[in-house]
């Protein structure tokens, strides 16, 4: 599902890289495309046509390009928030957002490697916390109210995924909250997380209030390993962490459930550069690598894991040289040329 703006360009770039990985590692990939977003709205009267979600549910993995949700009409006029629907209807509750610095690129903070685990199915998002209706309304023209939902089930499962990930990394989880103000909702989140923590005695657990965490990420990002947070808090902190690491355009991301996973770039649709062959496809390419790694872990397929590592290495090698970067990082390569060099490195087995 390529999405809007630069979505088609970076999705095609990602597919070129995946085809190269498929040819080298024998993944047996097949792709099916579904039109969504503004083009679908013009043709079908909705940004998410009937049947697309069912086809996605029946697949082994999903690639979702950036969407221009801010430009969509109201939901009742066909402007479905595709990201929200994909996450809630397919129960892709864990939005996994790694952020790491690379020695070859200037970072805005210190050297660090962390992952933000974002609960993606509830929180301060009015399209995903009600059984019926929306959790945002106006009782009068001058008053707007938004409700926040935090449940024990959602808190426990994002915490469990966070601790499982920490066991594979540096065995530290930081819980983000604002329980000093949101005593009931963030209090419930913390209670649920600490209950899960008891099953992982090897993992160190600490806490941070969300506003303090924004300062701490700037000051000492190297302190952190896995950061677990509710939807709204994690959404903001993950963009901060990715930009500190060098660029939001380098931030891979997946929305993972128990049985299905969706690769989705962290950044937006950038309509101002759409169609100009200027977009950096790294975020979606790295997200697709994360999807392959998820499949490898779930199904015990070593070749998928090897393909994911090869994609990561090829992107890092391209970023190591100014002449093989995209314009946003001081290079001159367009979207197509950047994807072609990544695909070429994978095909040849060359990372450096």
Give the pair of three-digit tokens for residue 254: 């997946």
**Average pLDDT of the chain?**
94
Instruction: Say if 88 falls within a structural domain.
Output: no
Cα angle 232-66-55, degrees, rounded to a multiple of 5: 100
Cα angle 323-324-329, degrees, rounded to a multiple of 5: 80
- State the CATH number of the domain containing residue 190: 3.40.718.10
234 burial via Cβ count (<10 Å: 0-12, 13-18, 19+): buried
Q: Which residue has the tokens 């970067």?
A: 325
- The closest of 82, 65, 113, 87 to 266, measured between CA atoms, is 65
Per cent of the chain over pLDDT 90 is 85
Do 237 and 349 lie in a common domain? no
Q: What is the mean pLDDT of residues 101-107?
A: 86
Q: What is the mean pLDDT of residues 246-270?
A: 92
Q: Residue 288's pLDDT is what?
A: 98
**In sequence order, which residues have a C-beta less than 8 Å from that of residue 275 and are 6 or more positions away?**
9
Please answer whether residues 326 and 278 qualify as being in contact, where contact means their C-beta atoms are separated by less than 8 angstroms.
Answer: yes
Q: What is the mean pLDDT of residues 282-300?
A: 97
- What digits encode the pLDDT tens for the residues 199-217? 999 999 999 999 999 999 9
CA distance 125 to 138: 16
Instruction: Say if 262 falls within a structural domain.
Output: no
Do 203 and 113 lie in a common domain? yes
Confidence class for position 294, pLDDT limits 50, 70, 90: very high
Do 223 and 119 lie in a common domain? yes
Q: Residue 107's pLDDT is what?
A: 81
Q: Which residue has the tokens 């963009």?
A: 239
- The closest of 215, 212, 166, 162 to 190, measured between CA atoms, is 162
- What digits encode the pLDDT tens for the residues 43-55? 999 999 999 999 9
**Largest alpha-carbon pair distance within the chain?**
63
| Beta carbons within 10 angstroms of residue 41's beta carbon | 21
Residue ranges making up the domain that contains 304: 1-83+269-352
Do 11 and 51 lie in a common domain? yes
Instruction: Indicate whether 317 pLDDT > 60.
Output: yes
Do 61 and 160 lie in a common domain? no
Cα angle 177-182-186, degrees, rounded to a multiple of 5: 45
Instruction: Say if 257 falls within a structural domain.
Output: no
Phi, psi of 132 (to 5 degrees): -140, 145
Confidence class for position 350, pLDDT limits 50, 70, 90: low
Which ranges of 144-203 does DSSP label H, i.e. alpha helix? 152-168, 185-197
- The closest of 11, 1, 8, 22 to 307, measured between CA atoms, is 22
Bridge-based pairing of strands 94-100 and 254-256 is antiparallel
Instruction: Say if 96 falls within a structural domain.
Output: no
DSSP state of 126: T
- What digits encode the pLDDT tens for the residues 157-171? 999 999 999 999 999
- Whole-prediction pTM: 0.94
């Amino acid at each position: 599902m390529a999405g809007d703006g630069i979505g088609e360009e970076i999705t095609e770039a990602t597919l070129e890289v995946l085809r190269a990985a498929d040819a080298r590692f024998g993944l047996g990939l097949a792709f099916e495309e579904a039109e969504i977003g503004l083009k679908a709205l013009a043709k079908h009267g909705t940004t998410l046509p009937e049947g697309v979600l069912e086809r996605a549910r029946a697949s082994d993995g999903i690639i979702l390009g950036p969407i221009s949700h801010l430009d969509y009409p109201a939901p009742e006029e066909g402007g479905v928030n595709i990201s929200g629907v994909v996450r809630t209807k397919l129960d892709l509750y864990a939005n996994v957002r790694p952020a790491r610095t690379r020695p070859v690129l200037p970072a805005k903070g210190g050297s660090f490697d962390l992952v933000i685990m974002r609960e993606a199915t509830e929180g301060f998002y009015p399209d995903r916390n009600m059984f019926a209706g929306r959790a945002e309304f106006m009782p009068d023209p001058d008053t707007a109210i938004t409700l926040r939902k935090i449940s024990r089930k959602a808190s426990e499962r994002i915490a469990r995924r966070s601790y499982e990930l920490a066991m594979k990394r540096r065995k530290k989880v930081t819980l983000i909250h604002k329980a000093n103000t949101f005593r009931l909702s963030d209090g419930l989140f913390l209670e649920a997380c600490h209950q899960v923590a008891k099953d992982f005695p090897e993992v160190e657990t600490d806490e941070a209030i969300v506003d303090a965490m924004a300062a701490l990420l700037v000051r000492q990002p190297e302190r952190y390993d896995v950061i677990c947070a509710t939807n709204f808090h994690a959404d903001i902190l993950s963009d901060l962490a990715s930009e500190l690491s060098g660029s939001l355009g380098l931030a891979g991301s997946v929305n993972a459930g128990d049985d299905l996973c969706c690769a989705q770039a962290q950044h937006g649709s950038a309509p101002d550069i759409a169609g100009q062959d200027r977009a950096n496809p790294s975020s979606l390419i790295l997200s697709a690598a994360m999807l392959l790694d998820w499949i490898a872990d779930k199904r015990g397929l070593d070749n998928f894991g090897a393909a994911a590592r090869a994609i990561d290495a090829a992107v890092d090698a391209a970023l190591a040289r100014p002449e093989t970067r995209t314009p946003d990082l001081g290079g001159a390569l367009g979207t197509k040329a950047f994807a072609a060099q990544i695909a070429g490195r994978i095909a040849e087995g060359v990372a450096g």
